[in-house]
Amino acid sequence: MKKQSANILIVDDEEDILLSLQFFLSQHFEEVKTESNPFQLPRLLRNNQYDLVILDMNFKKGDTSGKDGMMWLGKVLELDPSANVIMMTAYADVKTAVEAVKAGAIDFIEKPWRNEKLLTTILSALKLSRSRRQVKKLEQKQQALSSNIDQQFGEIIGNSGPIKQVFTLINKVAKTDANVLILGENGTGKELVARAIHRQSPRSREVFITVDLGAIPDTLFESELFGHKKGAFTDAGEDRSGRFELASGGTLFLDEIGNLSQPLQAKLLSVLQSRHIRRVGSNDPIPIDIRLICATNMPLYDMVKENAFRQDLLYRINTVEIKLPPLRDRREDIPILADHFLTVYHRKYQKPGLNISSATMKELQAYPWPGNIRELRHAVERAVILSDGPQLDISDFILHSSDGLGHDGPTQPQEELDNYNLSDIEAWAIRKALTKHAGNISRAADELGLTRAALYRRMAKYEL
């Protein structure tokens, strides 16, 4: 019979008990160590990792109180909170053994024992031990992944008045469980703010799940967010948890919430009100415990007036509202941001010593950055890649005057339409209207024959 891979420590002051247990258990497990002196436990636990500790309840002759066992159980769990301990007790001490289980032991064995029962108890305890370690490993992996993701997104950078107001709001709201709505143009860093709130919240050690609602087709909305049961539809080959269920205990970030259709808005509102979800194909309610953060670049208040967005849903998601300023409204932060991205990309592309000339920095501050921080980051990355010398000049940056607002810095020639693809024509027309009206959404929408909400949706679609 092949022995199981397990490291077991037995602590009992009776040598006969130790010999008997070691003889029997060594037939089934690879490592079985015995110790008659409980005062050796600290040294043993510091120097070894045991899958299981079998600990006697009494270490003095004639003592049946179990006080020693309870004391040493506490010591073991203090030294190793993840330790798995089985208590050994005489029949008369069963009540005390039950108290030991309440104090942290995972089971107990009665003396005298039957070998079959003993083996079954130990096998169950080892299975639990492995499950606990696997869960701990997964938790550590999740924390590492979350940490890596946060490093990828980095910190919010800036010293301007508008961004300091955002910092103040983040610090105030993070410590609560209030729903947060983040408003701002594309590229202003809405997910960055959501992650900052999560990191500073009481849920920071739990998961942060992000969902791009603009990328989920209506037909998959319920399955993606609420999960489904096996056989609920053609491709449902197994049970699957939705994003709400996965985020339970942590934070759920719903990006581009303004893109939801009216029927999906109603389904989302129902879940937020009941705090329960039902998987597709099931009637069983599953409770959820989430911190909700939503974001959009669309004018939700205008959409409410036009009956494109539910007012009751808006009230539900915006307990606290954070408006992110566009980069053109915090121009004093552009040098800080540009230098930060320059540091990131000169390391990535192994071009040390690069700097941005003061004249170029003034040009960058004069440009309106319709794509906001995202556009600045990409512009710096391209400039680093294309640069030939130690200094980045304005000629190294590609700045498009036709992307949005006009600006008084150098630009590349305005693009001309050279094809008849309908999507390209629509995007071109929107850019032309925005340029003509200096970014005034209402005037551009009137000229295009669209509502403000419809124009915002198209701007989001074409990332304008």
Domain boundaries, the chain: 4-134, 154-325, 328-403, 422-461
Rg (C-alpha) for the chain, rounded Å, is 31
pLDDT given for residue 418 in this prediction: 61
pLDDT given for residue 92 in this prediction: 52
HSE-up (13 A, CA, CB side) for residue 292: 25
User: How many angstroms separate the CA atoms of 197 and 168, rounded?
Assistant: 11
pLDDT at 423 over 80: no
Range with the poorest average pLDDT among 64-68, 171-175, 281-285, 352-356: 64-68
pLDDT at 63 over 50: yes
Quickly state the pLDDT bin for 185 (edges 50, 70, 90): very high
pLDDT at 321 over 80: yes
In this predicted model, what pLDDT tens digit does every residue of 72-110 receive, in sequence order? 999 998 888 888 999 988 755 667 777 888 888 888 888
pLDDT at 66 over 70: yes
Range with the poorest average pLDDT among 34-48, 55-69, 206-220: 55-69
4-134 maps to which CATH number? Answer: 3.40.50.2300
DSSP track, 385-401: HH--SSEE-GGGS---G
In this predicted model, what pLDDT tens digit does every residue of 347-389 receive, in sequence order? 998 888 899 999 999 999 999 999 899 999 999 998 999 888 8
- Of the chain, the percentage scoring pLDDT greater than 90 comes to 47
Fold identical between 328-403 and 422-461? no
pLDDT given for residue 296 in this prediction: 95
422, with CB counted inside 10 A (0-12, 13-18, 19+), is exposed
The CATH architecture assigned to 154-325 reads 3-Layer(aba) Sandwich (3.40)
Contacts of 123 (CB under 8 A, 6+ apart): 4
Q: Tell me the mean pLDDT in the region 179-198.
A: 94
Q: Yes or no: say if 126 and 51 are a contact pair by the CB < 8 Å rule.
A: yes
Quickly state the pLDDT bin for 149 (edges 50, 70, 90): low
Q: Tell me the mean pLDDT in the region 170-178.
A: 95
The CATH architecture assigned to 328-403 reads Orthogonal Bundle (1.10)
Question: What rounded mean pLDDT belongs to the chain?
Answer: 85
CATH topology of domain 422-461: Arc Repressor Mutant, subunit A (1.10.10)
User: Which of left, alpha, beta for 194 (phi over 0: left; psi -120 to 50: alpha)?
Assistant: alpha
User: How many angstroms separate the CA atoms of 270 and 251, rounded?
Assistant: 18
Q: Tell me the mean pLDDT in the region 226-237.
A: 83
